Structure 1
Amino acid sequence: MQAKKRYLLVFVSCAFLAYCYFGGYRLKSEDSNSEIHLLPDFVDVDALRTGSAVRRKERPNSESTNECRMDTCFDFSRCHKEFRVYVYSPDESLVPSHSYQKLLNVLEESRYYTSDPTQACLFVLSLDTLDRDRLSTDYVRNLQSRIQRLPFWNNGLNHVIFNLYSGTWPDYAENGLDFDPGMAILAKASVSVNNLRPGFDISIPLFHKKHPEKGGEPGFVISNNFPLNKNYLLAFKGKRYVHGIGSDTRNALFHLHNERDIVMVTTCRHGKSWKDMKDERCDEDNKEYER
């Protein structure tokens, strides 16, 4: 009889412990689910359950700036009054390239420019970042340390960095800026969809050094109605990379070239060893390019 009582007591105790464990877990889960409904809408609930959630409203560190978006890497409070652009004072020891100086001139002469950094929504470097090819005469050295010394840098928050060329021949890697842009917006030419941060970075044309600072006379756009009275529908003149990044695209341009309203000419003549890597069409392309 005593043995039966002991077995009954053990059974009841085990049942009670099981109820406390599973019942408490269920209550905890219900409390968690009820709290999830109170979370802001930018939290990934599925990721939260798996323990891998990161609140997107928290600004990412320098190692995760490739995930930057306007809601994580931009301070809108600086822009609530007016949209103003501040250009840093020039570095007396550095002379920007002619192309970058034209860009700065347009910004400083625009109605959005401000000389007061406390009123600025956007910040633009006076340091020339257009050409980050180490072989270029316009390449600015020690740019990382120079940028870090800027008084309002703040890891690139609300900054815009302009870039046309990155990396060095023959690779021309897109990440070849040789400095950390941080949370700055990149206005970049020839950027691939794999590296463009949607809704944050800006894809810009690769404009020539001879591109005019200002185009046309006042009223030209309004007076020149469609169809445009121009000789050419499409034109491109530039280097053709026989191999490496961009080679597939530029190697195919000759298919579009008709010598009339579509002029697409390329040259293989660049770099020190272009003759060693030239293909069967390089000589013909070079002649057309010069013509």
Structure 2
Amino acid sequence: MNHRVPSTALRTTLQASGLSEKYRFTLKRYIWGTSPHSDEAWHKAEAIFQSSQHTTDDPKVACLYVVIIGMGMSANDLQKRLETLPYWQADGRNHLLMVLSHGAENNNPLLNISTGRAILAQSSFDTRQFRPGFDIILPPLYALLAGPDLQDLPPQVPAKRKFLFSFQGESGMGLSLSHYHAQLMSVLRSIATSGQESVLLEFTCSEGDSNALPRQDSPTSAKPATEWAPCGDHTSRLDVLQRSTFALVIAPHATEGSPTASVALRVLEALEAGAVPVVLGSDARLLPFGEMVRWERAAILLPKARATELHFVLRSIADADVLSLRRQGHFIWDSYLGSIGVVVKAMLAAMRTRLCLPPPPVQEEPAEQIPHRSVKLSTDGVNPEGDASDLELGPQENEPPFPSECYRRNYTIALVEAELLWNVPPGPFLLFPFSPRDPILPSEAQFLGSGAGFRPIAGGSGGTGKEFQEALGGNVPREQFTVVMLTFERDEVLLDSVRRLAGLPYLNRVVIIWNSPRPPPEDLAWPDIGVPVTVGTDNLHCPFGPHFPSSICVIRALFVNLVLLFVAGESFF
């Protein structure tokens, strides 16, 4: 059995000598197991670790040793191989044991193994074995071998589907249900027969249709007598779930307090089908990656004692909330659960998050730029008719354009916003130079110790509208912005639009997205407006990809339309 290691001991379990700034977050992998059921998952996991930027072949620089365990090893063989690992150090510190489960069964090959201070990553745990905040809960990987079929994913709308909620399953191996679950079934049947709303409940699978769970006396099984076996195959279950607004998930009564693969499987399939999971009797921390993921934003979590209110609670949820839960559920499934690749990435990101290390920076991929020439603006006829050139747009900068300060919150994000990173797109995998969620100082902070780089209005004395109009400062130090313009064979309109930007305060640069199958004419003369003008190509469906050059964090999107003017303008990241 495992030694009880509190979650606060993680930093001592992972020795600090392997976590220096020099080595960052690196790992050494070992892969065991020859079970025919786990071969495909075995090879996929090996390929993913091989391509990971965190993997090293030098164990001396690794801060984490990952052992991938298949399902074909005896307990004695597994124990011996763990103890003979070169860096096991008698208690498994700095090791992560990842188990490749191959079914909905609650297989637990490490149940009777002494793993010491090694971190366990698997789908099912015994109540005495699981260490909250230390071990990592994974989804059952066998369900992810085929990978997601994005073409078959259901649409997000409509919010309400044919069935209010659905459940299919039966007691594993035909064992009798506990009195508690028998009462629960009676309550659910009464909801189904009330006729107020269409629900689908099946507590008995057709013959040969259930995925039988292992026997209770199996040495690697943590299955209680009240476990629920899923009916049918993955495809048939998805067909029902895609017609269900909510998907009922009943946690095993005898193992409350420990994660099980069958619960994780039902939640996984519900998210894939766009059905909002309704989990009865399980804590959010017992779901996959529950330490990091805020499951309350993607699922309904209720104690079993409130099963009698289930019909009322689900009917009271507004369409907007249903779509919000469904959208967040899709993000969680797509980012952390949808394939073996994202599961491995999420597992490593969870380890990095625990150690308060920032993710690797996003790779810059500049777009292909189109050569072009610029000419000075003439003094006559510069502005097209109707231009508001007589308006005072604001003061001018006396210095050339400058880039925004980037990557200012590398370690701050890892320390204070780890939970936020995991629960909003794009997730915790990459570090970006800027974020729209970066905090902004309140106005009084400019005068109380945090004024570096700020240019307060009239030096802080305030004034009338004239002083405000002449002010260069704002709520961030030395702010400028980039203009991104999307165009399609509107040469004259585009040039007029660029001319309008001459002398615009705070303008850093202009990026032209030339979205046309033909390149710009060679004799096209771009106006020189005093700031860099970059012309590049891009896909119309993603005109603002991260691969367009921009050294400034504030972007103003301008679309050149047939009506000669800018149609929309919106700041975004």
Instruction: Please give the range of the TM-score, normalised by the shorter of the 2 chains.
Output: 0.3 to 0.5
User: What TM-score, normalized to structure 1?
Assistant: 0.48
User: What TM-score, normalized to structure 2?
Assistant: 0.27
